Structure 1
Amino acid sequence: MGGKYRITGDKYPRMRPSRRRGRLVVVVVACGAVLGVAGWGTLQLIDVFTGGGGTASAAGSKTCSVKASPAATVPPAALPKPAQITVNVFNATTRSGLAKTTADELRKRGFKIGEVGNASAQYDKKVPGTGVLLGPASSLNTSLPVLATQLSTAERRTDAARTGTAIDLILGNGFQALTSQADATRALTALTAPRPEATTKKDC
């Protein structure tokens, strides 16, 4: 090209749009920096007004740490002593004299003995295990656990329609002997001993 549009030397005309594009990039970067600083400042304000004791979540809630405090001693439930429990001993097996010998052993261990004899038709020769402990509903967490220390493998049952406080020990086909007196005594001691109970505390 010639005339006034002739290009000479090593200088070229610059395109104006490139300068505008550079300014736009600078503006975008500056806005991002401002928004980042503003967001950080907002989180700091949230931490100040919430007491700084927890970590703010995305929903604005605060997490709390849970610490276990030393175990507290829980007194045992009021359980009756063997001398306060009346036991009826019934034999549901074909072995004669089993109810009497078992009742005599329970008497030596401090229990009161009520009726002794053969089991009713409902249970006679129908108890495959070692035995069944049957009592009123009120005995579930009182006298039943105490008697169960003497025959730990026996099944425990309650009858809501049953009256009185006596418990039936119905001996089954699997019965050989009561739990040894030493083991029964340890089980009874553990049953009536205070139990530790751990408590938790929230630190927010």
Structure 2
Amino acid sequence: MGGKYRITGDKYPRMRPSRRRGRLVVVVVACGAVLGVAGWGTLQLVDVFTGGGGTASAASAGECAPKKAGPSAPAVVLPQPAQITVNVFNATTRSGLAKTTADELKKRGFKVGQVGNAPAQFDKKVPGAGVLVGVPAASGTSLSVVGVQLPGAERKMDAARKDASVDLIIGNAFKSLAAPADVTKALAALSAPKTATEVTKKGC
């Protein structure tokens, strides 16, 4: 180039990046790194205080949720008192208990069979309220219906028994039969269907 645009001298302009711009880039990168570390630390604290994150919490909630146990069992059909024959025996030294108890059972609708003193194997050997004796098949049916009349009575199965009657043997702790209202509630509980749900807790 000539004229007034001619370059003279031994120094030439050099294309160098601005030092100020370089410093700005370094500052931006450093700030980004600091913010990234701070964010990661915050997430770790959140995990600690919330029990390990949303997925784990959701799994725990699922484990503690009620689970279906299947359809409800049908209501238990119990025999009516008129279908049950009860033999009443007195194993105590108090006289008249067998007759008065048998009369009360008759008023409540039961059929009454034998009434008298207890057989030798039970006579004066029953410290509790009483003993109920029946065939194994009567365990959840007639034996249960008679059992609510005398709560706390011991139950014994007699596989050699020839009939379906139930023996009610009065013991030394006997005071009276259960109140009719209590009997009604107990029978309702026995015949009610079982619940259809259950709650299973695992690590809750």
Q: Percent identity?
A: 58
Match of 1:150 in 2: 149
Segments of structure 1 that go 5 or more residues without pairing to the other structure are: 1-54, 56-64
Provide runs of 4+ in structure 1 moved above 6 Å.
none
What is the CA-CA distance between 1:196 and the residue it aligns to?
A: 1.8
Match of 1:5 in 2: none
Contact 2:149 2:177 in 1 (8 A): yes
CA distance in 1 between counterparts of 2:82 and 2:155 reads 20
CA distance in 2 between counterparts of 1:69 and 1:174 reads 44
List per-residue Cα deviations over 1:32-85 (Å, max 9, x = no partner): xxxxxxxxxxxxxxxxxxxxxxx9xxxxxxxxx666138743212332111111
TM-score (norm 1): 0.63
List aligned pairs for 1:123-202, cutoff 5 A. Answer: 123-198=122-197
Q: What is the CA RMSD across the aligned residues, in angstroms?
A: 2.6
Is the partner of 2:181 in helix, strand or coil?
A: helix
- Residue identity matched to 2:155: R
Match of 2:84 in 1: 85
CA distance in 1 between counterparts of 2:161 and 2:75 reads 26
CA distance in 1 between counterparts of 2:176 and 2:156 reads 20
Contact 2:68 2:196 in 1 (8 A): no
Is the partner of 1:74 in helix, strand or coil?
A: coil
Is the partner of 2:72 in helix, strand or coil?
A: strand
Segments of structure 2 that go 5 or more residues without pairing to the other structure are: 1-55, 57-61, 200-204
CA distance in 2 between counterparts of 1:87 and 1:70 reads 38
Structure 1 or 2: more strand by fraction: 1
Larger Rg: 2
CA distance in 1 between counterparts of 2:75 and 2:154 reads 23
CA distance in 1 between counterparts of 2:193 and 2:166 reads 26
List per-residue Cα deviations over 1:149-195 (Å, max 9, x = no partner): 10111001101111210000000011010111111111011111223
CA distance in 2 between counterparts of 1:199 and 1:125 reads 46
CA distance in 1 between counterparts of 2:70 and 2:96 reads 49
- Residue identity matched to 1:76: A
CA distance in 1 between counterparts of 2:71 and 2:113 reads 40
May I ask how many residue pairs the two structures share in their alignment? 142
